[in-house]
Amino acid sequence: MIPLTIIIPTKNRSEYLENLLLYYSNININCYILILDSSTINFRKKNKKILKNFTNLKIRYKFIIGKSHEVVKKSINLVKTKYCSLCGDDDYLYPKNFKKFVNFLEKNNSYAGVNGTSYLLRKYKETFTFTNYPLTNIHLKKAYLRCHKHIVEYSNPHYSICRTSVFSKAIKLVNKSKYPHDIFNDEFVLNFSLVCFGKFKTKKMTYLFRLIGHARNNLNKNKNQNKINISIKNNIIDLKKIIQKIDNKIYPKFEQDFYPIIKKKCATNKFRPSYIKLFLLKYDFKKSKLYYYLKSNLKFLNNNYTNKNLTFLNKNQIMKNNSFSKDIREFIKFFSYKEKI
């Protein structure tokens, strides 16, 4: 077994959990899985029934109520492997390259985590669209520089394969009383602190497919400025302590340097062209002439990360086309998606 545990928090999404476990079962994943289930009783019964179908997987199941990062914090002691990765129940890791990622960390102690080529996957009826999804790739020696650069050029390092010792330190900083705003307690606290503890590497090999289909953290859902201000203040205090200890250096202008970039990261009420894109994608425009007209004439609807050769293709088109990577074709081969259970 590879010394890796995939941590999967889930709540009331039995169809997502079954799809994911079926994929891991079919592709013969060779690591451990920790499922943290916050579901209500009916979904919990479904999930336990589902798990009985995957005896070939090394699964540990725990029922625990709470938000994603909070339940991971309370359960991190259950991870006994040297490495771990925190993923959602709609995030599909590509296990064929796990050994190469782990070997990289074994040989490079200054790195806290490693990841690879990743994609956002949008399923529409019988077709698939792949969009490149850049993960954290930062190699600066000083924690101060890494964290500052990371906040400015933000990405999610927790999807990486991380050293469990490092991940444990970062997840234990999650604290709802200190970080009353969800965007901090459910995302920023973990991701900002992870890069303080070490460098992250993106290797040129397939790593992750993220299924698009549910709401992400969004500041505009909760614009409570008081909660944001408290969270920013406490985040800066924690980051300063961590970074000065790691770098063994006092940064007298730490607050002046970090407050503006974190504040900017928390800006709300700003119109962005991507809002129109997200609005349109919520509806079934693919059949309409309006969709094609807008997509061809409004540049901001076309993501720079989208390869037009990987757009609205069915399974057979992907499997028979050798111009697509072997990894993508293998992923599609094993990927199964049930709409509802």
Q: What is the mean pLDDT of residues 36-56?
A: 97
Q: What is the mean pLDDT of residues 38-53?
A: 97
> How far is residue 175's CA from residue 12's CA, in Å, rounded to a whole number?
24
Q: Is residue 229 part of a domain?
A: no
What's residue 212's pLDDT? 78
Q: Average pLDDT of the chain?
A: 87
Nearest to 131 by CA among 283, 274, 291, 285: 274
Tell me the per-residue pLDDT of 227-286, one tens digit each, with 9 for 90 and over.
Answer: 999 999 999 999 999 999 999 999 999 999 999 999 999 875 454 554 455 444 544 444
Nearest to 319 by CA among 332, 306, 310, 336: 332
Same domain, 15 and 83: yes
Same domain, 290 and 213: no
What's residue 324's pLDDT? 79
Q: Is residue 150 part of a domain?
A: yes
Q: Is residue 311 part of a domain?
A: no
CATH number, domain of 213, equals 3.90.550.10
| Domain termination residue (choose one: 187, 204, 220) | 220
Same domain, 279 and 210: no
Same domain, 215 and 298: no
Helices vs strands, H then E, count in the chain: 14, 10
Q: Is residue 51 part of a domain?
A: yes
| Start-end of H helices in 202-272 | 225-247, 254-265
Q: Is residue 323 part of a domain?
A: no
Predicted confidence (pLDDT) at residue 306 exceeds the cutoff of 50: no
Q: What is the mean pLDDT of residues 48-70?
A: 96
Sign of CA dihedral 226, 228, 231, 234: negative
Confidence of residue 323 (pLDDT cuts 50, 70, 90): confident
Confidence of residue 341 (pLDDT cuts 50, 70, 90): very low
212 against 106, higher pLDDT: 106
Confidence of residue 312 (pLDDT cuts 50, 70, 90): confident
CA 288 to chain centre: 32
Q: How many percent of the chain have pLDDT more than 90?
A: 70
Same domain, 55 and 170: yes
Kindly report the pTM of this predicted structure.
0.87
Same domain, 59 and 193: yes
Distances (CA, A) of 165 to 104, 112, 168: 16, 9, 5
Confidence of residue 292 (pLDDT cuts 50, 70, 90): very low
> Whose structure tokens read 């930062």?
138
> How far is residue 258's CA from residue 268's CA, in Å, rounded to a whole number?
18
Predicted confidence (pLDDT) at residue 24 exceeds the cutoff of 60: yes
Predicted confidence (pLDDT) at residue 136 exceeds the cutoff of 60: yes
Q: What is the mean pLDDT of residues 75-97?
A: 97
Total structural domains within the chain: 2
> Whose structure tokens read 């039995």?
14
Which of 21-35, 56-70, 321-335 is predicted least confidently? Answer: 321-335
What's residue 217's pLDDT? 56
Same domain, 136 and 47: yes
Q: Following CA atoms 177, 179, 185, 189 in sequence, which dihedral angle do they give, to the nearest 10 degrees?
A: -130
Residue 68, domain extent: 4-220
Residues contacting residue 229 through CB under 8 Å, at least 6 positions apart: none
